[in-house]
Amino acid sequence: MKALRLVAGKTARKRIEANGLTPEMVRMVVGASGGPKWLVLRGLDQFVFGNWLVQSNNHIDMVGSSIGAWRMTIASHPEPGLMFKCFEDAYFGYRKEDGASPEAVTRASYKILSEVMGPKVCEQIVSNPKRNLNIVAVRCVGPTASSSRMVEGAGLLAAASLNAISRSTLKTFFKRAVFYSGDDVACSALWRDFDRIDAKLSPNSLHDALMASGSIPFVVDPVIDIEGAPKGVYRDGGVIDYHFDVPWSYDEGIVLYPHFYGHLVPGWFDKMRKNRKAGAQALDQQLVLAPSDEFVASLPYGRIPDRKNFSDMEDTERKPYWRKVVDESYRLADELSMLLEKPDLLLERLEAAPE
Protein backbone atom coordinates (compact mmCIF):
# COMPACT_ATOMS: atom_id res chain seq x y z
CA MET A 1 0.00 0.00 0.00
CA LYS A 2 1.23 3.47 -0.92
CA ALA A 3 0.69 5.72 2.07
CA LEU A 4 1.72 9.03 0.47
CA ARG A 5 0.39 11.02 -2.47
CA LEU A 6 2.55 13.60 -4.24
CA VAL A 7 0.41 16.00 -6.29
CA ALA A 8 2.37 18.49 -8.40
CA GLY A 9 1.34 21.53 -10.40
CA LYS A 10 2.78 21.90 -13.90
CA THR A 11 5.58 24.31 -13.06
CA ALA A 12 6.41 22.47 -9.85
CA ARG A 13 6.81 19.23 -11.78
CA LYS A 14 9.04 20.83 -14.39
CA ARG A 15 11.30 22.33 -11.72
CA ILE A 16 11.52 19.06 -9.81
CA GLU A 17 12.35 17.20 -13.02
CA ALA A 18 15.09 19.72 -13.77
CA ASN A 19 16.58 20.15 -10.30
CA GLY A 20 15.33 17.30 -8.16
CA LEU A 21 13.42 17.65 -4.92
CA THR A 22 15.83 19.10 -2.39
CA PRO A 23 15.44 21.35 0.67
CA GLU A 24 16.91 24.22 -1.38
CA MET A 25 13.97 23.96 -3.80
CA VAL A 26 11.39 25.00 -1.20
CA ARG A 27 10.46 28.69 -1.21
CA MET A 28 7.22 28.48 0.78
CA VAL A 29 5.37 25.99 3.00
CA VAL A 30 1.60 26.24 3.47
CA GLY A 31 -0.56 24.91 6.30
CA ALA A 32 -4.34 24.50 6.09
CA SER A 33 -7.14 24.90 8.60
CA GLY A 34 -8.47 21.63 9.94
CA GLY A 35 -8.24 21.23 13.72
CA PRO A 36 -7.20 17.71 14.79
CA LYS A 37 -6.72 16.70 11.15
CA TRP A 38 -3.12 17.82 11.65
CA LEU A 39 -2.46 14.62 13.60
CA VAL A 40 -2.40 12.60 10.37
CA LEU A 41 0.54 14.79 9.29
CA ARG A 42 2.37 14.60 12.61
CA GLY A 43 5.12 12.22 11.46
CA LEU A 44 5.43 13.97 8.11
CA ASP A 45 5.86 17.33 9.85
CA GLN A 46 8.53 15.87 12.09
CA PHE A 47 10.52 14.69 9.09
CA VAL A 48 9.91 17.64 6.74
CA PHE A 49 10.63 20.37 9.28
CA GLY A 50 12.77 18.59 11.83
CA ASN A 51 15.05 16.63 9.49
CA TRP A 52 14.78 17.80 5.91
CA LEU A 53 14.18 21.56 5.62
CA VAL A 54 16.63 22.35 8.42
CA GLN A 55 19.35 21.40 5.91
CA SER A 56 18.51 24.45 3.79
CA ASN A 57 20.02 27.85 4.43
CA ASN A 58 17.42 29.54 2.21
CA HIS A 59 14.81 32.00 3.41
CA ILE A 60 11.42 30.24 3.44
CA ASP A 61 7.99 31.85 3.67
CA MET A 62 5.62 30.04 6.05
CA VAL A 63 1.88 30.64 5.57
CA GLY A 64 -0.99 29.12 7.53
CA SER A 65 -4.49 29.57 8.89
CA SER A 66 -5.99 28.04 12.05
CA ILE A 67 -4.14 24.81 12.97
CA GLY A 68 -2.02 25.35 9.87
CA ALA A 69 -0.84 28.63 11.39
CA TRP A 70 0.04 26.83 14.62
CA ARG A 71 2.02 24.23 12.66
CA MET A 72 3.83 26.83 10.56
CA THR A 73 4.65 28.82 13.70
CA ILE A 74 6.22 25.79 15.34
CA ALA A 75 8.03 25.00 12.10
CA SER A 76 9.47 28.54 12.11
CA HIS A 77 11.41 27.90 15.30
CA PRO A 78 15.16 27.24 14.83
CA GLU A 79 14.61 23.77 16.39
CA PRO A 80 11.28 22.67 14.89
CA GLY A 81 11.71 18.97 15.62
CA LEU A 82 11.86 19.59 19.35
CA MET A 83 8.99 22.07 19.18
CA PHE A 84 6.66 19.64 17.41
CA LYS A 85 7.21 17.08 20.15
CA CYS A 86 6.35 19.69 22.79
CA PHE A 87 3.23 20.69 20.85
CA GLU A 88 2.06 17.10 20.54
CA ASP A 89 2.39 16.56 24.29
CA ALA A 90 0.45 19.74 25.07
CA TYR A 91 -2.23 19.02 22.46
CA PHE A 92 -2.84 15.57 23.89
CA GLY A 93 -3.39 17.21 27.27
CA TYR A 94 -6.68 18.69 26.07
CA ARG A 95 -9.65 17.20 27.94
CA LYS A 96 -13.28 16.87 26.94
CA GLU A 97 -14.28 19.22 29.76
CA ASP A 98 -12.07 21.88 28.13
CA GLY A 99 -14.68 22.07 25.36
CA ALA A 100 -17.63 22.81 27.64
CA SER A 101 -17.98 26.39 26.37
CA PRO A 102 -16.19 28.87 24.10
CA GLU A 103 -14.65 30.39 27.22
CA ALA A 104 -13.32 26.98 28.31
CA VAL A 105 -11.89 26.24 24.85
CA THR A 106 -10.21 29.64 24.83
CA ARG A 107 -8.62 29.09 28.24
CA ALA A 108 -7.40 25.61 27.27
CA SER A 109 -5.97 26.89 23.98
CA TYR A 110 -4.07 29.73 25.61
CA LYS A 111 -2.77 27.21 28.14
CA ILE A 112 -1.35 25.08 25.31
CA LEU A 113 0.31 28.14 23.81
CA SER A 114 1.83 29.08 27.16
CA GLU A 115 3.18 25.57 27.66
CA VAL A 116 4.71 25.36 24.19
CA MET A 117 5.68 28.96 23.45
CA GLY A 118 7.00 30.95 26.38
CA PRO A 119 8.47 34.45 25.89
CA LYS A 120 11.89 33.14 24.80
CA VAL A 121 10.40 30.76 22.25
CA CYS A 122 8.14 33.51 20.86
CA GLU A 123 11.18 35.73 20.40
CA GLN A 124 13.10 32.95 18.64
CA ILE A 125 10.23 32.31 16.24
CA VAL A 126 9.49 35.91 15.34
CA SER A 127 13.17 36.84 14.95
CA ASN A 128 14.22 33.76 12.93
CA PRO A 129 15.88 35.30 9.81
CA LYS A 130 15.40 32.10 7.79
CA ARG A 131 11.62 32.05 8.15
CA ASN A 132 8.96 34.63 7.32
CA LEU A 133 5.96 33.48 9.33
CA ASN A 134 2.53 34.56 8.01
CA ILE A 135 -0.40 33.87 10.34
CA VAL A 136 -3.73 34.37 8.58
CA ALA A 137 -6.90 35.46 10.38
CA VAL A 138 -9.90 37.64 9.50
CA ARG A 139 -11.09 40.94 10.95
CA CYS A 140 -14.86 40.83 11.32
CA VAL A 141 -17.03 43.58 9.83
CA GLY A 142 -20.59 44.60 10.66
CA PRO A 143 -22.81 41.87 12.16
CA THR A 144 -20.03 39.28 12.30
CA ALA A 145 -18.20 41.54 14.74
CA SER A 146 -21.17 41.74 17.11
CA SER A 147 -20.92 40.54 20.71
CA SER A 148 -24.47 39.22 20.33
CA ARG A 149 -24.40 35.61 19.18
CA MET A 150 -27.78 36.08 17.50
CA VAL A 151 -26.51 39.01 15.43
CA GLU A 152 -23.22 37.28 14.72
CA GLY A 153 -25.10 34.15 13.63
CA ALA A 154 -27.26 36.19 11.27
CA GLY A 155 -24.13 37.73 9.80
CA LEU A 156 -22.56 34.32 9.26
CA LEU A 157 -25.71 33.06 7.57
CA ALA A 158 -25.73 36.05 5.25
CA ALA A 159 -22.03 35.58 4.51
CA ALA A 160 -22.57 31.91 3.65
CA SER A 161 -25.51 32.74 1.39
CA LEU A 162 -23.67 35.41 -0.55
CA ASN A 163 -20.52 33.29 -0.73
CA ALA A 164 -22.57 30.73 -2.66
CA ILE A 165 -22.88 33.36 -5.37
CA SER A 166 -19.30 34.67 -5.21
CA ARG A 167 -16.38 34.37 -2.81
CA SER A 168 -15.61 38.03 -3.32
CA THR A 169 -18.74 38.95 -1.34
CA LEU A 170 -17.05 37.75 1.85
CA LYS A 171 -15.25 41.10 2.10
CA THR A 172 -18.60 42.58 3.13
CA PHE A 173 -18.32 40.63 6.37
CA PHE A 174 -14.60 39.88 6.80
CA LYS A 175 -11.24 41.39 5.94
CA ARG A 176 -8.26 39.11 5.45
CA ALA A 177 -5.62 39.79 8.12
CA VAL A 178 -2.01 38.64 7.82
CA PHE A 179 0.40 38.82 10.75
CA TYR A 180 3.93 38.50 9.36
CA SER A 181 7.39 38.26 10.93
CA GLY A 182 9.65 39.09 7.96
CA ASP A 183 10.11 42.21 5.89
CA ASP A 184 6.71 41.91 4.19
CA VAL A 185 3.79 39.57 3.68
CA ALA A 186 4.81 36.54 1.60
CA CYS A 187 4.09 37.03 -2.14
CA SER A 188 2.31 40.19 -1.05
CA ALA A 189 1.06 41.39 -4.44
CA LEU A 190 -0.68 38.09 -5.25
CA TRP A 191 -3.32 38.08 -2.50
CA ARG A 192 -4.27 41.64 -1.66
CA ASP A 193 -7.97 40.89 -2.16
CA PHE A 194 -10.56 40.84 0.65
CA ASP A 195 -9.25 44.27 1.73
CA ARG A 196 -6.23 42.67 3.34
CA ILE A 197 -4.87 44.05 6.61
CA ASP A 198 -1.14 43.60 7.28
CA ALA A 199 0.27 43.57 10.80
CA LYS A 200 3.86 43.06 11.88
CA LEU A 201 4.23 40.23 14.37
CA SER A 202 5.97 40.73 17.68
CA PRO A 203 6.69 38.22 20.45
CA ASN A 204 3.89 39.85 22.44
CA SER A 205 1.29 39.48 19.68
CA LEU A 206 2.15 35.93 18.61
CA HIS A 207 -0.25 34.13 20.97
CA ASP A 208 -3.16 36.43 20.14
CA ALA A 209 -2.55 36.14 16.39
CA LEU A 210 -2.55 32.35 16.66
CA MET A 211 -5.69 32.33 18.77
CA ALA A 212 -7.44 34.63 16.31
CA SER A 213 -6.43 32.45 13.39
CA GLY A 214 -8.25 29.47 14.91
CA SER A 215 -11.17 31.16 16.70
CA ILE A 216 -14.12 29.37 15.10
CA PRO A 217 -17.40 31.24 15.68
CA PHE A 218 -19.49 29.79 18.54
CA VAL A 219 -16.62 27.41 19.42
CA VAL A 220 -13.84 29.77 20.56
CA ASP A 221 -13.98 33.36 21.79
CA PRO A 222 -12.83 35.96 19.26
CA VAL A 223 -9.67 37.95 19.89
CA ILE A 224 -10.25 41.66 20.26
CA ASP A 225 -7.64 44.37 19.52
CA ILE A 226 -4.39 42.57 18.67
CA GLU A 227 -1.17 44.49 19.19
CA GLY A 228 0.12 46.02 15.96
CA ALA A 229 -3.17 45.59 14.07
CA PRO A 230 -6.20 47.85 13.63
CA LYS A 231 -8.61 47.59 16.55
CA GLY A 232 -11.42 45.14 16.03
CA VAL A 233 -12.71 41.59 16.35
CA TYR A 234 -10.48 38.89 14.87
CA ARG A 235 -11.49 35.34 14.02
CA ASP A 236 -10.59 32.16 12.17
CA GLY A 237 -8.52 32.72 9.03
CA GLY A 238 -10.13 29.66 7.46
CA VAL A 239 -13.27 31.70 6.79
CA ILE A 240 -11.51 33.11 3.72
CA ASP A 241 -8.41 30.93 3.52
CA TYR A 242 -9.46 27.44 4.54
CA HIS A 243 -6.93 25.74 2.25
CA PHE A 244 -5.84 28.88 0.33
CA ASP A 245 -6.78 29.56 -3.30
CA VAL A 246 -3.78 31.80 -3.98
CA PRO A 247 -1.51 31.62 -7.06
CA TRP A 248 1.77 31.67 -5.13
CA SER A 249 4.59 32.45 -7.55
CA TYR A 250 8.39 32.42 -7.31
CA ASP A 251 11.02 32.78 -10.02
CA GLU A 252 12.46 29.43 -8.97
CA GLY A 253 11.77 26.61 -6.56
CA ILE A 254 8.43 25.25 -5.39
CA VAL A 255 5.68 25.74 -2.81
CA LEU A 256 5.47 22.75 -0.47
CA TYR A 257 2.07 21.86 0.97
CA PRO A 258 1.84 18.99 3.50
CA HIS A 259 -1.94 18.59 3.47
CA PHE A 260 -4.75 16.34 4.64
CA TYR A 261 -6.13 15.96 1.09
CA GLY A 262 -4.92 15.97 -2.51
CA HIS A 263 -7.20 18.93 -3.33
CA LEU A 264 -7.70 22.42 -1.91
CA VAL A 265 -11.01 23.93 -0.77
CA PRO A 266 -10.75 27.76 -0.95
CA GLY A 267 -12.80 28.94 2.05
CA TRP A 268 -14.66 27.67 5.11
CA PHE A 269 -18.08 28.17 3.48
CA ASP A 270 -16.95 26.17 0.42
CA LYS A 271 -16.56 22.87 2.28
CA MET A 272 -19.94 21.60 1.10
CA ARG A 273 -19.58 23.01 -2.42
CA LYS A 274 -17.91 20.19 -4.36
CA ASN A 275 -17.59 22.31 -7.49
CA ARG A 276 -15.52 24.98 -5.75
CA LYS A 277 -11.90 23.91 -5.44
CA ALA A 278 -8.59 25.59 -6.16
CA GLY A 279 -7.60 25.18 -9.79
CA ALA A 280 -4.49 24.87 -11.91
CA GLN A 281 -3.35 28.48 -11.47
CA ALA A 282 -3.22 28.23 -7.68
CA LEU A 283 -1.61 24.80 -7.76
CA ASP A 284 0.90 25.56 -10.52
CA GLN A 285 4.02 25.82 -8.33
CA GLN A 286 2.79 23.61 -5.52
CA LEU A 287 3.79 20.13 -4.45
CA VAL A 288 1.06 18.72 -2.22
CA LEU A 289 2.00 15.87 0.12
CA ALA A 290 -1.10 14.05 1.34
CA PRO A 291 -2.13 10.69 2.81
CA SER A 292 -3.57 8.28 0.25
CA ASP A 293 -7.15 7.06 0.43
CA GLU A 294 -5.86 3.58 1.22
CA PHE A 295 -3.80 4.91 4.11
CA VAL A 296 -6.77 6.79 5.56
CA ALA A 297 -8.97 3.70 5.20
CA SER A 298 -6.43 1.73 7.24
CA LEU A 299 -6.71 4.11 10.22
CA PRO A 300 -9.03 3.41 13.15
CA TYR A 301 -12.61 4.21 12.08
CA GLY A 302 -11.24 4.61 8.54
CA ARG A 303 -10.93 8.38 8.83
CA ILE A 304 -8.73 11.28 9.79
CA PRO A 305 -9.35 12.89 13.20
CA ASP A 306 -11.58 15.96 13.17
CA ARG A 307 -13.06 18.54 15.52
CA LYS A 308 -16.09 16.36 16.32
CA ASN A 309 -13.76 14.01 18.20
CA PHE A 310 -13.70 16.51 21.06
CA SER A 311 -17.46 16.30 21.62
CA ASP A 312 -18.36 12.85 20.27
CA MET A 313 -15.65 10.83 22.06
CA GLU A 314 -14.69 10.40 25.67
CA ASP A 315 -11.03 11.09 26.42
CA THR A 316 -10.46 7.38 27.07
CA GLU A 317 -11.54 6.63 23.49
CA ARG A 318 -10.23 9.70 21.71
CA LYS A 319 -6.65 9.67 22.96
CA PRO A 320 -5.85 6.05 21.97
CA TYR A 321 -7.40 6.76 18.56
CA TRP A 322 -5.27 9.86 18.14
CA ARG A 323 -2.17 8.02 19.35
CA LYS A 324 -2.68 5.32 16.74
CA VAL A 325 -3.09 7.93 13.99
CA VAL A 326 0.10 9.71 15.08
CA ASP A 327 2.02 6.43 15.19
CA GLU A 328 0.81 5.52 11.71
CA SER A 329 1.58 9.02 10.37
CA TYR A 330 5.29 8.23 10.47
CA ARG A 331 4.70 5.90 7.53
CA LEU A 332 4.17 9.03 5.41
CA ALA A 333 7.54 10.33 6.57
CA ASP A 334 9.27 7.02 5.89
CA GLU A 335 7.83 6.90 2.39
CA LEU A 336 8.88 10.46 1.58
CA SER A 337 12.37 9.78 2.93
CA MET A 338 12.64 6.73 0.69
CA LEU A 339 11.44 8.62 -2.39
CA LEU A 340 13.92 11.43 -1.79
CA GLU A 341 16.69 8.84 -2.04
CA LYS A 342 15.24 7.48 -5.30
CA PRO A 343 14.63 10.49 -7.59
CA ASP A 344 13.44 8.41 -10.54
CA LEU A 345 10.80 6.70 -8.44
CA LEU A 346 9.77 10.03 -6.96
CA LEU A 347 9.15 11.42 -10.44
CA GLU A 348 7.07 8.36 -11.29
CA ARG A 349 4.93 8.98 -8.23
CA LEU A 350 4.13 12.62 -9.06
CA GLU A 351 0.43 13.05 -9.81
CA ALA A 352 -0.86 15.90 -11.93
CA ALA A 353 -2.64 18.58 -9.91
CA PRO A 354 -6.37 19.05 -10.62
CA GLU A 355 -7.14 21.48 -13.41
DSSP-derived secondary structure for 213-251: HT--TTTS--EES-TTS-SSEEEEGGGT-SS-------S
pLDDT for 64 equals: 98
pLDDT for 2 equals: 95
Among residues 32, 14, 59, the alpha carbon closest in space to that of 289 is found at: 32
DSSP secondary structure string for all residues of 183-200: SS-TTGGG--TTT-EEEE
DSSP secondary structure string for all residues of 109-146: HHHHHHHH--HHHHHHHHT-TTEEEEEEEEEE-GGGG-
pLDDT for 27 equals: 98
66: which DSSP letter? T
Residue 40 CA to residue 215 CA, distance in Å, equals: 21
| Residue 219 structural domain | 4-352
**Residues in the chain where the model's pLDDT stays below 70:** none
pLDDT for 231 equals: 98
Give the CA distances from residue 62 to residues 28, 115, 131, 280, 302, in Å, rounded to whole numbers and listed in that order: 6, 22, 7, 21, 31
Classify residue 314 by burial, with Cβ atoms within 10 Å: 0-12, 13-18, 19+. exposed
Do 69 and 35 form a contact (C-beta atoms < 8 A)? no
Residue 352 CA to residue 354 CA, distance in Å, equals: 6
Residue count (the chain): 355
Residue 7 CA to residue 314 CA, distance in Å, equals: 36
pLDDT for 275 equals: 82
Do 47 and 335 form a contact (C-beta atoms < 8 A)? no
pLDDT for 98 equals: 83
pLDDT for 83 equals: 97
Counting the structural domains of the chain, the total is 1
